[in-house]
Structure 1
Amino acid sequence: MSDPTVNKAILENVYRHWNETLGGSVDEIMDICADEIRWGSLAQGVSPLPFTAEAVGKSEVRKYFHGLLAAWSMVYYKVHYFVAETDRVVMVGSTKWTNKETGKACETAKIDIWRFRDGRAIEFFEHYDTAQMLDAAKP
């Protein structure tokens, strides 16, 4: 069983710290993930964004964050609102990141879809402007 109110509250805290620390709260995100979590991204690992390939399990998700934070610096991450129903929570927001190699910025709307079981995240998928991100990553 999954409580949408509890799941939403969990994510409100996680996203607040993600923004406040400019990406320094990976451990907190990992703490809410089930061992068998499935993690997906709209770019699906396309070059030059290999870290966006589907990740299964916490160790692979940690590699996603390592790749993200090695290549990009967060400027901000704003949550506009959450929608929570049954076992799913959708975050609608916006974010801006700067590519460390090119110095180019990517500012995009962001939608994250989470699925929970027993208070733990078991699925995540992120939607964003892949064209802007790819452009900012290419020299």
Structure 2
Amino acid sequence: MGEESLTARNLARVQEIYGRYAQGDRGALFEALAPGVSWNSVGDGLLPWAGSRKGPKGVRAYFAALDAEAEVTRYEVEQVIAQGEWIATLATVQIRYRRSEQSYRYAKADFIRLVDGQVVDFREFYDTAQACRDHACGG
């Protein structure tokens, strides 16, 4: 299979996953996780959900930590860039922190590697310094 076909198939897969996630359905994401998925969210040591995790169980732990602290109230994908196994998404996410009941918006970038339709690598980047100020890290 050529790279164009691989790119198109992976792009469609990620759009399906993000489309369902934006509607509050994480099922497509959990179904797409490879057994050895590597999941990384910047801000390790600052934010409870941040850090590196392995496998579907680790990804569920990421979401459990995130859900304990905040609620994602809006998720808007602005741009998707694809090449072969790698997909990059630029998005805006709105978070309501449970402790303060305050909502904040963040621009973020995700990098996802898919092999045979499964997520094998996920890397999430956003302004963790701002998120820490908004979330009152350590407070």
Q: Under a length normalisation based on structure 2, what TM-score does the superposition of the two structures give?
A: 0.89
Where does structure 1 differ by over 4 angstroms across 4 or more consecutive aligned residues? none
Q: Which amino acid aligns with 2:32?
A: I
| Equivalent-residue separation in structure 1 for 2:89 and 2:26 (angstroms) | 17
1:100 aligns with 2:98: yes
Tell me what 1:35 maps to: 35
CA offsets, 1:33-86, max 9 Å, x none? Answer: 100000001112x23x22212001110111001111121111211001111101
Larger radius of gyration between Structure 1 and Structure 2 = 2
Q: Which amino acid aligns with 2:43?
A: A
- In structure 2, stretches of 5+ residues that fail to align are none
- In structure 1, stretches of 5+ residues that fail to align are none
Report how many aligned residue pairs link the two structures.
134
Taking only aligned residues, the RMSD between alpha carbons, in angstroms, comes to 1.5
Q: Which amino acid aligns with 2:127?
A: D
Tell me what 1:18 maps to: 21
Tell me what 1:128 maps to: 126
Q: What secondary structure sits across from 1:50 in the alignment?
A: coil
1:63 aligns with 2:66: no
Alignment of 1:71-82 (within 5 A): 71-82=69-80
1:123 CA drift (Å): 0.1
1:104 CA drift (Å): 2.6
Aligned identity (percent) is 24
Q: Under a length normalisation based on structure 1, what TM-score does the superposition of the two structures give?
A: 0.89
CA offsets, 1:110-131, max 9 Å, x none? Answer: 1000011111110000111112
Contact 1:107 1:132 (8 Å CA) reproduced: no
